[in-house]
Structure 1
Amino acid sequence: MTPPPPPPPLGRARRKAPAGVRPALDDTELAASLDALAQGRWTAARALLAATGTDWDRRGHRLLALGAARTGAVWAREWQLAEPDSPDAAAFTAAAAVHRVLRGKEAAEAARESCLTAARMAPDDPTPWLALLLLARATGTPDAREHAFDQVRARHPGHHHAHHLMAACLAEHQPGDTDDPLHQVYDFAAWAAEQAPADSPLAVLPVVAHAERYRVLAAAGLEPADPAASGHWATRRARQAMKAAFDWWLEWEGTHKGSTGGATGHPRGMVDLNFLAHAKYCEGRLAEAAALFHRIGPHVTAEPWGYPDRDPARAFRAARDLALRAT
């Protein structure tokens, strides 16, 4: 038997693992279910999804987070064996299969069939189609992405996560081009925000579209790695999008506090708040950015931080320190 390697010499610091994104965001019930799932207790996930009911935004967020768990596929199959007629078990299996494809552990066609099976078992549920949209973003055609998005929207027109995903998909079209003010991602975001009810979080989607398009341009080397140094955020379109979204947020947040979604009252509200904080930082409004970052606290999301060499914790500190020096 080979002996274990010796510990590092004294004085050499162990490399700390990078802080990970919290899949549950600020959904404490989901976080508890993920902890239980890691210990092999899939019944907690069953109880969580049963309690979620037809809150489609929350259900989509919870199922994709559960499916992303490393042991999700194992316990999803266990649940399906115990309850083969359960639509929740089928949706969990589909979400886990999609995440296995994203990790290179499963064939895309098998995951697609799992999603379609779950969709047939619960025709009114947009969540299997949300999983298909996530799959199509990575492996599908533009037509497949559009079809999955249309199916989600037919069941829940204001689906928050689906619109974010579709914005990311469209922003990735023509990655090597310079920024075009008529790019389809901007038209899509403006259309969705106009179609949504007055109290819908989709009011933030134009800011999301602007951030997603910047992410693609920066990855292609067409914009600076530091978004605060990019002219992408100084255009008239960007300023209008940021002002409209921020004004909406201040009004909406005042009437949507409490509930399982945390301070925002929405299962992915921290994602919206991250985009707004980031936009304020890029705009140079450092005091406002620092205030938003402070309210976000430890709820780090990956959504607006897919830029080269960007670390959310570092950005939080930078905005705070700059704002303090400016006062």
Structure 2
Amino acid sequence: MSPPPPPLGRPRRRAARSLDEALDDVELAAVRASLAQGRWQAARSLLVHTGDDWDRRCHRVTVLARERYTAAWARDWLLAEPDSGDAAVLLGLAVTHQALRGKAKRARARDACRAAIARMPADPTPWLGLLLLERADGTPEATERIFHEIRARYADHHHAHHLMVAHLAARRAEAGPDPLHEVYDFADWAAQQAPADSPLAILPVVAHAERYRALALAGHEPADPVGSGHWAGGRARQVMKAAFDWWLEWEHEGHPRRLVDLNFLAHAKVCEGRGAEAAALFHRIGEHLTAAPWSYPDRDPHTAFRAARATALGTA
């Protein structure tokens, strides 16, 4: 049975300090508000319009799937349109996020994702649900197998590569810093395999931040990333310069997750002490902060972001 919708009228106002995972996708934010009222037809239209723009589709489905009532409304959609692959994909991701919050069984979430895969075999999005589940409680072998299933459908899948970097960065963190750690090799490989204009060029920066998070949580790095020295080595400076140069030449204003990359890059420039370069990135980010990496290792992302931005803009 579907939950009762909130009262009709104005869309729900999100808490002032909440992170809006829709980022700058205004159309997505409007559909999310409609879905909260049970108007799943807006989600149907959005996903039809998105088509096979896989990064955008994954971003939109993921944001909608995280909402509290999405699984119930997706089931209503499936009842009305039993053959809808989009409804099955949305349900699979919604139940996945319920399972990750402890509100549904993992087996049920896996079944929902597999049902979506059966209906939409070319779509990498339901495989992302399986990747999230395997990262949480699966084996490294299964995680890598699912990642390769995603790459087989879309080799430059942005979200999947970020998840794999975070997954690999946590390996052997208890052993301490390792300049030859596999996460760096993976990030370099993915960046080199991608086309020249691919935002996966930023992945080595993401790997450096994720490795810091893992090492800090294991007690091998201080809790203040700026004072950690993690971004001070020659290899780190080379990675940061290459990524910043890529941004200057290739920035994709239309990529749905570019603000995720810009937050990682701004964070890296702040930690590197490059205030003027960080300031340029903060101007592009505006108010669209992301939890990662400003929350690393266990900080309030709003406080960290605003302090870093104020310092960088003052420097500039």
TM-score of the pair, normalised by structure 2: 0.92
**Alignment partner of 1:232 is 2:230:** yes
2:195 aligns with 197
Distance change >3 Å, CA 301–CA 326, structure 1 → 2? closer
Give CA-to-partner distance per residue, 1:216-235, whole Å, 9 cap, x none: 11112211111000121112
Q: Following TM superposition, by how much is the alpha carbon of 1:310 offset from its aligned partner in structure 2, in angstroms?
A: 2.7
2:11 aligns with none
SS of alignment partner, residue 230 of structure 2: helix
Structure 2: how far apart are the matches of 1:278 and 1:131?
28
Letter in 2 for 1:103: R
1:162 aligns with 160
1:14 aligns with none
Structure 2 residue corresponding to 1:125, chosen from 116, 123, 147: 123
Q: How does 1:178-197 map to 2 (within 5 A)?
A: 178-197=176-195
Structure 2: how far apart are the matches of 1:325 and 1:48?
41
CA contact (8 A) 2:127 2:146 kept: yes
2:19 aligns with 21
CA contact (8 A) 2:295 2:304 kept: no
Letter in 1 for 2:195: P
SS of alignment partner, residue 231 of structure 1: coil
Deviates more, 1:85-94 or 1:228-237: 228-237
Structure 2: how far apart are the matches of 1:204 and 1:323?
20
1:207 aligns with 205
Distance change >3 Å, CA 106–CA 198, structure 1 → 2? same
Structure 1: how far apart are the matches of 2:85 and 2:134?
22
1:67 aligns with 65
CA contact (8 A) 1:293 1:316 kept: no
Q: Following TM superposition, by how much is the alpha carbon of 1:316 offset from its aligned partner in structure 2, in angstroms?
A: 3.8
Structure 1 residue corresponding to 2:261, chosen from 264, 269, 272: 272
Give CA-to-partner distance per residue, 1:113-159, whole Å, 9 cap, x none: 11111111111111111111111111211112111100000000011
Structure 2: how far apart are the matches of 1:110 and 1:317?
40
Give CA-to-partner distance per residue, 1:57-97, whole Å, 9 cap, x none: 10111111111111111111111111111110100010001
Structure 1: how far apart are the matches of 2:313 and 2:84?
54
Letter in 2 for 1:306: S
Structure 2: how far apart are the matches of 1:173 and 1:325?
38
Q: Following TM superposition, by how much is the alpha carbon of 1:324 offset from its aligned partner in structure 2, in angstroms?
A: 5.5
CA contact (8 A) 1:26 1:299 kept: yes
Letter in 2 for 1:279: A
Structure 2: how far apart are the matches of 1:312 and 1:289?
16
Give CA-to-partner distance per residue, 1:158-214, whole Å, 9 cap, x none: 111110011011111123121111111111000000100001000000000000111
Structure 1: how far apart are the matches of 2:33 and 2:205?
33
RMSD: 1.5
1:58 aligns with 56
Structure 2 residue corresponding to 1:34, chosen from 32, 35, 38: 32
**Structure 1 stretches of at least 4 aligned residues deviating more than 6 Å after TM superposition:** none
Structure 1: how far apart are the matches of 2:173 and 2:313?
37
Structure 2 residue corresponding to 1:306, chosen from 274, 278, 295: 295
Structure 2: how far apart are the matches of 1:159 and 1:232?
27
Letter in 2 for 1:146: E
Structure 2 residue corresponding to 1:297, chosen from 283, 286, 289: 286
Q: Following TM superposition, by how much is the alpha carbon of 1:314 offset from its aligned partner in structure 2, in angstroms?
A: 2.9
Structure 2: how far apart are the matches of 1:313 and 1:107?
32
Letter in 2 for 1:305: W
Structure 2: how far apart are the matches of 1:103 and 1:163?
22
Q: Following TM superposition, by how much is the alpha carbon of 1:295 offset from its aligned partner in structure 2, in angstroms?
A: 2.1
Deviates more, 1:214-223 or 1:182-191: 214-223
Give CA-to-partner distance per residue, 1:251-309, whole Å, 9 cap, x none: 012xx3xxxxxxx2100000000011000000001122123123211112112123134
Structure 1 gaps of 5+ residues are 1-16, 257-263
Structure 2: how far apart are the matches of 1:306 and 1:292?
18
Letter in 2 for 1:218: A
Structure 1: how far apart are the matches of 2:97 and 2:208?
26
CA contact (8 A) 1:167 1:208 kept: yes
2:92 aligns with 94
Deviates more, 1:132-141 or 1:94-103: 132-141
CA contact (8 A) 1:167 1:185 kept: yes
Structure 1: how far apart are the matches of 2:291 and 2:49?
27
Q: Following TM superposition, by how much is the alpha carbon of 1:105 offset from its aligned partner in structure 2, in angstroms?
A: 0.6
Structure 1: how far apart are the matches of 2:201 and 2:283?
22
